[in-house]
Structure 1
Amino acid sequence: MVQDRPDPASLSSPAVSSIGVVGGGQLALMLAQEAPGLGLQLHLQAASASDPAVALASSVVLGDADDAEATAALARRCQVITFENEWVPLEALQGLRQAGVRFLPDLDALAALMSKRAQRELLQKLALPTPRWFPLEQVLAPPPAPQEALESPQAGVFIPPGALGADSPRRPELPRGFQYPLMAKSSRGGYDGKGTLPIADQQALEELLASVDPAGWLLEERVAFEMELALVAARDQHGNVVCYPLVQTHQQQQVCDWVLFPAPVSHAVEAFARNIAASVLTALDYVGLLAIEFFFGPAGLQVNELAPRTHNSGHYTIEACACSQFGQQLRLAALLPMGSPEPLVPGALMVNLLGRDGTQERDEADCQALAALPGAHLHWYGKSESSPGRKLGHLTLLLESSGNAALQQEAQAKLQEVRSIWPLP
């Protein structure tokens, strides 16, 4: 049975009453749904008047996330600005910060997480486990010329350093210790499988080099993992850190299909994941919400990616935890005490509802059937367009079993029920 949440009337008055959000998609929508219960007004910077969160906003500034002028207009309507995603023009926003605009997370902390390369460098600096990697341009760097190659004994001709191969193309070479297969990742942007590409052999590497700017990509070893995990953590302005439960995530064609709480791992693994989160948050003096994606397998726990915001893997917290990830982000922005991340139920399964071929009428009928499932909570994002694989909504099903084995059996049975109504695209 779900425990009761705290009465909103018992909440202390927020020091901040108006919050701006850059973005108007489903993450902003779920922030907007939480805001009234905390006595907060939410103002949006949205790319389109048809974006999912617009209807619930106190006011809207139309502009893409990288439109700094729109963000300046948003700043005049609110006391603090937070973000739906991290793809914002940091340099252009520095002027607003210097003028006194408060951002959550702070722009300096955000800068350290803006690119996958910056994330990898941070994790290495903190000695935290992550797949081995190297910048893509490194495969093009000429190897140091050995001294014996600079002089030709056969002809007795001296060849100046740097002249060998200066005008002829050289096959890219992997750094010592790396071998195929590898995974190529765009350093900036990329989500739901976009911006990633498996590199199986030399030909695939050369094709990648011919199609992208090497400076914007990195290569990392392919990880033999048993499962993927995720954790959402939060840190307040006093340095306090709280973590939501570690969850298992399952990908379908590199898009998250479902999330299971709790993850079927040992307490030691979960404790290590929490320690990693606390290390990153503390090192960056980070205030806000941070999601961490992990690989788990023979090499142990390895950090895959960091996301400085609410996260798809944390949607289950809306029904399953005392304070959802969205309520937590708003609390941090409003300088309210952090809410409890403790679970209210033994477990939960969150299933993403991905776009598929079909009509709007079919979607509506299937949504009604999904909402009628026992323990189900439907979240439909109201997007104006659908395409195969696009996240249109999600369904959270609360679980009642105790013990990992029983919970996994219950989750698998519920997943089959969902798939009988809403199959994968």
Structure 2
Amino acid sequence: MENNDHQNFCIGVVGGGQLAQMLAKAGKKLGVDLIVQTRSENDPAVQNANGLVLSDTNDINGTRQLAQKTSCITFENEWVDIEGLSLLEDSGVTFIPKLSAMSPLINKLSQRKLLKKLNIPGPEWLSLSSFKISDLKLEANWKFPLMAKSSFGGYDGKGTMVINDFSDLKTLLQQVNPKQWFLEKWINYDKELSLVVSRDLFGEVRTFPLVETFQTNQICNWVLAPADVIHPVIAMANNIAISLVRELNYTGVLAIEFFYGNDGLLVNEIAPRTHNSAHLSIEACASSQFEHQIAIAARKPVKSTELIAPGAIMVNLLGFKDSENIVERRLQLLKKINGVNLHWYNKENNIPGRKLGHVTKLLSSIDIKQRRNEALQVLNQIRSIWPMT
């Protein structure tokens, strides 16, 4: 692999969406160049990056070109061709995280198998690959409704299906590839939590504040930091994350989504990358998740994850059916809110439900209840300008 001629260390990113865009901005802050591999010159990250490999993200030849221009490669999402990329790794290309660390995390079914192997708590599950409806009838502790999940590509509610009865189950079995789907017991939880963690090349692990996420129609609506949970829950979440990254010898940033309720703390999903739930770290923490990913890849010092305010709220801005001038008017109104930090991704298409941007605001209340009320006031103000749907 050739190093590029840039004076600064140069990182390649497979992907050109908003996560790559925020990585590129963090790179500029840290003096690290970034080149993206993406299929459109209009993708969000392109205007902030130092270079572009115009290629589909699954095109190994494109990634080979990216490797020739950069010192190491990282990823915007986990939907990668491990087998194809391994040929590049064997030839000397450096990936962060390593492909061996990503491999168990690239789909939800292999995640479930990993959690079971490590005795990390998660929802009970059954693979559909060797499943028969009679099996479920014999499982006394399995009752409807159930959650069916696709092991590949599911996000923001995609790739999931609520199974209310045996009729729904038969329909599912007829419509999907059973090797790529599994069933989970329905979890009645009180809170959805998320933790982002980083591990550097020297093995040091740093955890960002545990946050609470609030979903609407299975899409993240808003995020509150820090989460209002007792200390043992925070400690357990941190211990799970630390154990996981150490077991995998994982380097870089990783996110874990949890369910928390009567069944305790359960791992819902793992994302081997930067994550929507920690976008607020850009303003709310001493260093952001994006700075961590860049610093780790570039072998630079990794800074603290501590909150610099008592709390923070992040609100997602989703696409809607409307005209372009309405979008601009809404953005101008958001900019007028005192203390709000607007992040606009400059995506080509305003598609309903698509994440087009987010806003973050720091919270000043030290008291937990007052801080939550402060967050709800901010949320209502933002949603009065930019509704969820």
Contact 1:262 1:347 survives alignment (8 Å): yes
Q: Say which SS state the counterpart of residue 232 (structure 1) adopts.
A: strand
Q: 1:174 to 1:374 in 2, by over 3 A?
A: farther
- Counterpart for residue 341 of structure 2: 377
Deviations 1:153-206 (A, max 9, x none): xxxxxxxxxxxxxxxxxxx75645322111000011111110011111000000
- Structure 1: runs of 5 or more not aligned: 1-13, 144-171
2:159 to 174, 189, 195: 195
What is the distance in 2 between the residues matched to 1:138 and 1:261?
42
Offset from partner CA, 1:237-290 (integer Å, 9 cap, x none): 221110000000011101100000011111111111000000100110111111
Match of 2:57 in 1: 65
Partner SS state of residue 198, structure 1: strand
* 1:251 counterpart (210, 215, 228): 215
Paired residue for 1:42?
Answer: 34
- Write out the 4+ residue segments of structure 1 that deviate beyond 3 Å after TM superposition: 172-177
Q: Of 274, 277, 282, which aligns to 2:238?
A: 274
8 Å contact kept, 1:351–1:394: yes
Aligned mates of 2:224, 2:357 — CA distance in 1: 17
Report if the CA contact (8 A) 2:256-2:271 is conserved. Answer: yes
Is residue 220 of structure 2 the alignment partner of residue 228 of structure 1? Answer: no
Q: Given the alignment of the two structures, is residue 131 of structure 1 paired with residue 115 of structure 2, yes or no?
A: no
Deviations 1:221-252 (A, max 9, x none): 01000110000001112211100000000111
1:110-129 to 2 correspondences below 5 Å:
110-129=102-121
**What one-letter code is carried by the residue in structure 1 that aligns with 2:97?**
P
Structure 1 counterpart of 2:51, one-letter code: S
Secondary structure of 1:226's counterpart equals: strand
- For 1:233 and 1:27, the matched residues in 2 are separated by 16
Distance 2:188 2:268 in 1: 13
Aligned AA for 2:191? M
CA contact (8 A) 2:205 2:242 kept: yes
Correspondence 1:78 to 2:42: no
Report the Cα offset of residue 125 of structure 1: 1.2
Question: Structure 1 residues 16 and 201 mapped into 2: Cα distance closer, same or farther (>3 Å)?
Answer: farther
**Residue 389 (structure 1) shift:** 0.8
Superimposed CA distance per residue, residues 102-143 of structure 1 (whole angstroms, 9 cap, x where no aligned partner): 001100000010111111111111111100001013332887
Q: 1:20 maps to which residue?
A: 12
- 1:155 aligned residue: none
Give % identity: 49
Q: Is the 8 A contact 1:15 1:335 kept in 2?
A: no
Structure 2 Cα separation of the partners of residues 217 and 133 of structure 1: 10
Q: Is residue 398 of structure 1 aligned with residue 352 of structure 2?
A: no
- Counterpart CA distance in 2 for 1:178 and 1:219 is 10
Structure 1 residue aligned with 2:293: 329
Secondary structure at the residue paired with 2:130? helix
- 8 Å CA contact 1:15–1:336 kept in 2: the answer is no
- 1:417 to 1:142, Cα distance in 2 relative to 1, 3 A: closer
* Equivalent pair of 1:16/1:335 in contact (CA under 8 Å): no
Amino acid at match of 1:71: T
Give the whole-Å Cα distance in 2 for the aligned partners of 1:400 and 1:141. Answer: 53
8 Å CA contact 2:8–2:31 kept in 1: the answer is no
Taking a change above 3 Å as real, the CA distance of residues 263 and 60 of structure 1, as seen in their structure-2 partners, is same
Relative to the length of structure 1, the TM-score reads 0.88
- Does the CA-based 8 Å contact 1:24-1:84 persist in structure 2? yes
CA distance in 1, matches of 2:27, 2:130: 47
Are 2:83 and 1:97 equivalent residues in the alignment? no
The letter of the residue matching 2:77 is: N
Structure 1 408/73 Cα, relative in aligned 2: closer, same or farther at 3 Å?
same
Contact residue 225 and residue 313 of structure 2 kept, 8 A = yes
- State the distance in 2 between where 1:233 and 1:407 align: 24
Q: Note the C-alpha offset of 1:388.
A: 1.1
> Which residue, out of 145, 164, 168, partners 1:204?
168
Structure 2: which amino acid aligns with 1:82?
T
Which letter maps to 1:32? A
The answer to whether the Cα contact below 8 Å between 2:10 and 2:35 also exists between their aligned partners in 1 is yes
Cα distance in 1, alignment partners of residues 223 and 56 from structure 2: 30
Computing the radius of gyration over CA atoms, which structure comes out larger, 1 or 2? 1
> Is residue 16–residue 79 contact of structure 1 (8 Å, CA) maintained in 2?
no
Superposed displacement of residue 415, structure 1: 0.6
Distance, in Å, in 1 between the alignment partners of 2:279 and 2:29 is 18
Alpha-carbon offset, residue 402 of structure 1: 0.8
CA distance in 1, matches of 2:150, 2:7: 40
Which deviates the most, 314-323 or 61-70? 61-70
User: Which one-letter code corresponds to 1:239 in the other structure?
Assistant: G
Structure 1 residue 67, shift from structure 2 partner: 0.9
Tell me the residue number matched to 1:151: none
Aligned residue for 2:197, secondary structure, equals strand
Query: What is the alpha-carbon distance in structure 1 between the residues aligned to residue 153 and residue 273 of structure 2?
Result: 14
Q: Which residue of 1 aligns with 2:202?
A: 238
Could you tell me which residue of structure 1 aligns to residue 3 of structure 2?
Answer: none
SS at match of 2:42: coil
TM-score, normalised to structure 2, is 0.96
Letter of the 1:422 partner, please give it. Answer: W
Q: Residues of 2 paired with 1:53 and 1:130: CA distance? A: 34
Task: Give the count of matched residue pairs.
Answer: 384
User: Is 1:303–2:267 an aligned residue pair?
Assistant: yes
Alignment RMSD (CA, Å): 1.5
Distance between the aligned counterparts of 1:123 and 1:297, measured in 2? 19
For 2:31 and 2:140, the matched residues in 1 are separated by: 57
